Amino acid sequence: MATATRTYPISTGAPLRVDLAGCGVVGSALVRALEHGGDALRERHGLRVSVGRVLVREPEKRRDVALDPSVFTRDVSTFLQSNADLVVEAIGGLEPALTIARATLERGATLVTANKALLATHGSELAALALRHGASLRYDAAVGGGVPVLRLIQNALGAGTPSRVRGIFNGTTNFVLSRLEDGWTLDAALTEARSRGFAEADASRDLDGRDAADKITLVAWAALGVAPGTLEADRRSLLPDPARFGRLAARVGGALRQVAECGVQDGHSYAIVEPLVVARDGALARTRDEQNHVELHTGWSAPLSASGPGAGGLPTATSLLSDVLSTGSAANRPRPTLPSTRDTRPSTWALETNASPSDIHAEVRECGVVRTDADASCAWTIVSAATRDEIDDIIARLTARGGDVIAIRVDDGVAVSGSESHA
């Protein structure tokens, strides 16, 4: 994804001067990719890259990168006293990333970032700064890791606009859900995800959907022209017990994935992040471990889709490097924006509670078969043709009866095993 029109001196023989903010999982993978791919970059792209300054928290820390120790600094103002052509921001979080982004764009340089939280919060401001100062802002790596989600939206549809975009955008959550499917415990799945560099110490932003909400905000910006800050994703969390959602999805004949979606409905834009019951043999269920997946629904016979590693140092660094190589000719100029709304499409839902089956019969209108597990500790049913508001209302009423309730939307086309019932 890019804004504005600045290009830099590819093919002139002069090296591209790059400063790097952050040299952790992603930043260090980028340095190694520049080193190992140096010949290919020169031969194929006529590009030589020289890394000038590197901002980190602990300059003395041992890092697996071939950089002179003198390039490291912990001081943001020293880092910013630079005339680099391009700054790669791979720190994450809001500060000092925002200060670095503003300073880079204000001096007309190119900013390449993988920071979805920064863009989801300050994207409009940074895009406007880039336009005002003839700078470039590129952030393909912020969504999809190694899957070029934003580039696909921007480059694959000509002048077309998808009616809806959905996908799996959180590698940590997908890794955890795949392992739970295989019978692992949540703790074991998270420990494994952390040891592979896919999960941070606190994975709650992943599992409760906040990370995917930041990403669907950027997808909606690219696909629908809805500026960040004007569309809040309707978010349903997998916490506190993702395994419980997985069991309910299996009980009704599907698989569980955390899916994010944005689209247009009656002239309004909407965005959702939710646990979704998906068909066991479909593309979403086949997206396993840290993979990400995106589907662009365009009205063609099938959605345009892409899958691949959605987390990890090298895939994300590769996406950053693609942004470094691209020449920013496509502008993300402000477009008229759509008003936003809550999704009101009726759907099928799997609903489970530890309240009694009679409570379900009492609160779900025209309720059909209610099943219980062997020791009758929980009961579940299928609720068809219910909107989000209606299902929230049912959850509230069952909760008021003392139930501990979860509900998952069931994707279109999943042959649910359960009952005929109506909200």
Ligand X SMILES: NC(=O)c1ccc[n+]([C@@H]2O[C@H](COP(=O)([O-])OP(=O)(O)OC[C@H]3O[C@@H](n4cnc5c(N)ncnc54)[C@H](OP(=O)(O)O)[C@@H]3O)[C@@H](O)[C@H]2O)c1
Alpha helices in 196-347 (DSSP H): 204-207, 210-224, 242-251, 283-286, 313-325
CA atoms of 215 and 196, how far apart (whole Å): 22
Out of 311, 338, 370, 407, the only residue in the binding site for ligand X (CB under 6 A) is 311
Please count the other Cβ atoms lying within 10 Å of the Cβ belonging to residue 226: 24
Nearest to ligand X of 31, 406 (CB atom):
31
Phi, psi of 220 (to 5 degrees): -65, -35
Interface positions, 14-53, toward ligand X (CB under 6 A): 22-27
Q: How far is the CB of 250 from ligand X (least distance, A)?
A: 28
Alpha helices in 46-112 (DSSP H): 76-80, 97-106
Q: How far is the CB of 93 from ligand X (least distance, A)?
A: 7
Cα angle value 193/197/198 (rounded, 5°): 55
Report which secondary-structure segment, H or E, holds 304.
Answer: strand 304-309
CA atoms of 104 and 66, how far apart (whole Å): 25
Out of 316, 326, 348, 353, the only residue in the binding site for ligand X (CB under 6 A) is 316
Nearest to ligand X of 60, 281 (CB atom):
60
CA atoms of 140 and 152, how far apart (whole Å): 10
Report if residue 55 touches ligand X, rule: CB under 6 A.
yes
Out of 123, 167, 254, 312, the only residue in the binding site for ligand X (CB under 6 A) is 312
Q: Taken in order 234, 240, 242, 247, is the CA torsion positive or negative? A: negative
Query: How many residues contact ligand X, by CB under 6 A?
Result: 23
Q: How far is the CB of 25 from ligand X (least distance, A)?
A: 4
Q: How far is the CB of 159 from ligand X (least distance, A)?
A: 29
CA atoms of 254 and 239, how far apart (whole Å): 20
Answer left, alpha or beta for residue 250, where phi above 0 means left and psi between -120 and 50 means alpha.
alpha
Cα of 126 vs its chain's centroid, Å: 19
Q: How far is the CB of 322 from ligand X (least distance, A)?
A: 13
Q: How far is the CB of 26 from ligand X (least distance, A)?
A: 3
Site string for ligand X, 66-85 (x = CB under 6 A): --------x-----------
| Stretch in the footprint of ligand X (CB under 6 A) among 12-20, 43-51, 88-96, 405-413 | 88-96
Report if residue 276 touches ligand X, rule: CB under 6 A.
no
Q: How far is the CB of 89 from ligand X (least distance, A)?
A: 8
DSSP-based helix, strand, coil % in the chain, nearest 5 = 35, 20, 40
Nearest to ligand X of 65, 135 (CB atom):
65
| Stretch in the footprint of ligand X (CB under 6 A) among 56-64, 224-232, 353-361, 375-383 | 56-64
Out of 42, 44, 61, 345, the only residue in the binding site for ligand X (CB under 6 A) is 61
Interface positions, 94-153, toward ligand X (CB under 6 A): 96, 114-115, 141, 145
Report which secondary-structure segment, H or E, holds 181.
Answer: helix 171-181
Report if residue 260 touches ligand X, rule: CB under 6 A.
no
Q: How far is the CB of 201 from ligand X (least distance, A)?
A: 10
Which positions touch ligand X (CB under 6 A)?
Answer: 22-27, 55-58, 61, 74, 90-92, 96, 114-115, 141, 145, 311-312, 316
